[in-house]
Amino acid sequence: MPELPEVETVVRALRPVLVGRTICTAEFPAPPRRMVNLPPEALQERISGQTIRALNRRAKYLLFELSRDHLVVHLKMTGHLYVLSPDQTSPFDKWVRVRFPLDDGRELRFSDSRRFGRVYLAGEAAEVLPELGPEPLEESFTLSVFKARLKGRERALKPLLLDQSFIAGVGNIYADEALHLAQIHPQRTAKSLSQAEIKRLYDSVRHVLQEGIRHQGATIGWYRSPDGKPGEAQNHLRVYRTRATKDVPCPVCGSPISVIPMGQRSTHFCPVCQPETKEGRKK
C-alpha cells in the first residue's frame, strides 16, 4: 500500500496539473459499489462544475479542496491516479473505476485493479477521514510531541508506528526502515525506550520519509507516479526485503535479515544491529 512518500509524490505531481481546473462530471465505467460514499448519480450531480482550488495530503489520503466540497481519495493497494486526454491510453485504463472530465478537455482517471481504493465527496474532509495522528514531517511534530505520544505506551513499536492515530502516513516499509536506522528491535515496547533511543527513532522516522519522497516513492507492488514511472526508493532500502532481495544482507553489518510476523504484517530487521537490549548496538 502506498505510504506517505508515495502519496506525497502523487500530490506533488498532480498539483500543478489540476489546481485551477474545473471538474465537469464523474463517469463510472461500471457500478463503483463500495468505492464511493455517495450513490453515483448523487456524486455526479454534486461534483459537476466544482473547481479544484487546492490539492494536499493528509496521512495516506489525497485531499482535493473544491469550490464547495472536498474530494478525498485513498489509493489503498492498487489505486493509481493520472491525467490524460480522452484519446490517450494507459496500461492502467483496463481498471479505470471513475473518470473526472476536466474543463481543459483532459480527464483525471482513477484506476484500481483490486477495488480497495476509496473516493469520497464530502463538505469537509474530516467527515470521511478516520482519526489520524500528527504529520511526522510537519514543523509542529517536534521531539517533545513525539515523547509525549510515546509516554506510558506498552505496545510494541512496529504496530504502534503503523497505527495511523499515533502517527499519520507511516506504513510497513518505512516503519521497518526507521527502526533499523534507529537500531531498535521492532518488538521493543514504547515504554522501554531510553531518551537516547526516542531521539534516534524520532530522527529516523523523519529521515526515512524524507528520503522516500526524495526518491519519489518505493515501487515494490503497484505504485507508480501519475506519469506511470516507478519510484526509486526501493533501490535504497536498508532492511525491508522483497522476494527479489530476500537474501541481501544487512548493509551495516552484513548479517542475514530476519523476517517475523507482527500484526499480520511481515517485519524485517537485523538481529545484530537491532538486538532486544535497551540501548541497541553500539556504534
pLDDT digits 0-9 by tens, 141-191 = 999 999 999 998 999 999 999 999 999 999 999 999 999 999 999 999 999
Global pTM reads 0.95
Three-state SS sequence of 13-41: HHHHHHCCCEECCCECCCCCHHHECCCHH
Find the largest Cα–Cα distance for the chain: 61
At 267 the three-state DSSP class reads: strand
In this predicted model, which residue has the larger pLDDT, 230 or 263? Answer: 230
Average pLDDT over residues 125-151: 98
Could you give all domains of the chain from N- to C-terminal order, each with its CATH number? 4-127 (3.20.190.10), 143-269 (1.10.8.50)
Only one residue has cell 504484517, namely 265
Active-site residue set: 2-3, 60, 265
pLDDT given at position 281 = 47
Interatomic CA distance for residues 262 and 131, integer angstroms: 22
Nearest alpha carbon to residue 35 among 110, 132, 135: 110
- Whether the per-residue pLDDT at 221 is higher than 90: the answer is no
- Whether the per-residue pLDDT at 53 is higher than 70: the answer is yes
- Whether the per-residue pLDDT at 76 is higher than 80: the answer is yes
